[in-house]
Amino acid sequence: MKSNIGSRKTYFGPVTFTHIILLISLTIIWSSSFVVIKIGVESLSPITLTTLRLTVGFLALAFISIIKNISWPITAKLLSSCFWSALFGCSLPFFLISWGETKIESGIAAILMSIMPLITLFLSHFFTKGDRLTIQKIIGIALGFAGIIILVGPGAMTEIGNQLSYQCAIASAAACYAVNIIIMRNMDQPSILSRSTIILGLATLQLAPFSIFVDPISITTLDPVGLTAILYLGLLPTALAMLLFFKLVSVREPSFVSYVNYILPVFGLGWGAIILDETFSLNAIICLCLILAGMLVANLSTGGNQNSR
């Protein structure tokens, strides 16, 4: 995009209804995976479940790519970007979260994962055009973080520091997701379908050797429930979510996309209320209101006050 030196120009433009729908759709799909993962790990180890989930997602997108006869303008630069996106966006954080949550509670995990928008905000300031660090965005991120604290309860903060290595794993996964948004935003721009297919294929290859070594299984160990979980996770929270995520990253700044991490815990409680008959508490409603308020404040400047670099 051309820009005049010294002029003030919006790079991403104002947030539209379509952007909000993309963000909410992505959050709904990803949040549903928590319930399904709990079902899947009853039959399979986390690393095997993750590998098979990635495999199904890759095969689904590869099949669609063949049917649509999409072009594959593969370059060394694109492959490098896709490799790092697969590592930081799929294989590494999936493993870190699975390992970390074997010892820490979900409330602590929600707090630790919620540092991702803050990390994204700072990285995006230096590596993404048009997503500068502003007071509005800092306030918006702070409101979202406050919502997470209210959701899980202030008492959960006292647990920070216990099981330190496992907590560091969750925090590292959050950092991985932040890095991945920047990578995806700045990679070459062939079709979203081709990029998504390559990333899921590389992520599968990255995890498969570890899965075979750590937990070798045969197809006979898959019961119908486990198989259903794998198919659901592979087709929706992996394949479809990857396409939606790429679309959102292509039209909005990373700091906006990172709000997914704030909304996920709220929608996770919503799935619990629908499927497991759990109570959707007042805290969850307050949390959601704070997150939405934070998004509004953070994007007040996008109507024309954002500097393009």
- Residue 258 covered by a domain: yes
CA distances to 8, 91, 119, 133, 307 from 4, rounded to whole Å, are 8, 41, 29, 20, 11
Contact 246, 89 (CB under 8 A): no
Contact 181, 131 (CB under 8 A): no
Which residue is associated with the tokens 């898959």? Answer: 222
Residue-level pLDDT at 105? 65
How far is residue 306 CA from its own chain's centroid?
25
Residue-level pLDDT at 219? 57
Residue-level pLDDT at 161? 59
Domain extent, residue 261, equals 17-303
CA triple 126-120-153, angle to 5 deg: 150
- Residue 191 covered by a domain: yes
pTM over 0.85: no
> CB-based contacts of 300: which residues, under 8 Å, 6+ apart?
136
Residue-level pLDDT at 122? 85
Find residue 262's DSSP bridge partners.
none
- Residue 88 covered by a domain: yes
For the chain, the straight-line distance linking the first and the last C-alpha, in angstroms and rounded, comes to 10
> CB-based contacts of 277: which residues, under 8 Å, 6+ apart?
none
Structure tokens at 43: 């039959």
Widest Cα–Cα separation across the chain: 65
Q: CB atoms < 10 A from the CB of 79, how many? A: 13
Residue-level pLDDT at 298? 67
Residue-level pLDDT at 94? 83
> CB-based contacts of 94: which residues, under 8 Å, 6+ apart?
50, 207
- Residue 12 covered by a domain: no
Instruction: Report the candidate in 121, 38, 168, 53 with the shortest Cα–Cα distance to residue 299.
Output: 121
Instruction: Report the candidate in 140, 113, 125 with the shortest Cα–Cα distance to residue 15.
Output: 140
Residue-level pLDDT at 213? 86
d(Cα 306, Cα 8) in Å, to the nearest integer? Answer: 7
Find residue 162's DSSP bridge partners.
160
Q: How many domains does the chain have?
A: 1
What is the dihedral angle through the alpha carbons of 15, 21, 26, 31, rounded to the nearest 10 degrees? Answer: 110
- Residue 308 covered by a domain: no
Q: CB atoms < 10 A from the CB of 87, how many? A: 20
d(Cα 170, Cα 185) in Å, to the nearest integer? Answer: 23
Please give the backbone phi and psi of residue 280, each rounded to the nearest 5 degrees, phi first.
-90, 100
Residue-level pLDDT at 84? 97
- Residue 9 covered by a domain: no
d(Cα 197, Cα 229) in Å, to the nearest integer? Answer: 21
**How does DSSP classify residue 258?**
T
- Residue 216 covered by a domain: yes
- Residue 241 covered by a domain: yes
Query: How high is the mean pLDDT in each 10-residue block of the chain (309 residues)?
Result: 37 83 91 80 84 95 94 87 96 84 67 79 84 81 78 63 78 91 87 94 94 74 86 95 94 86 75 65 71 69 43
CA distances to 44, 45, 92, 229 from 216, rounded to whole Å, are 11, 10, 19, 19
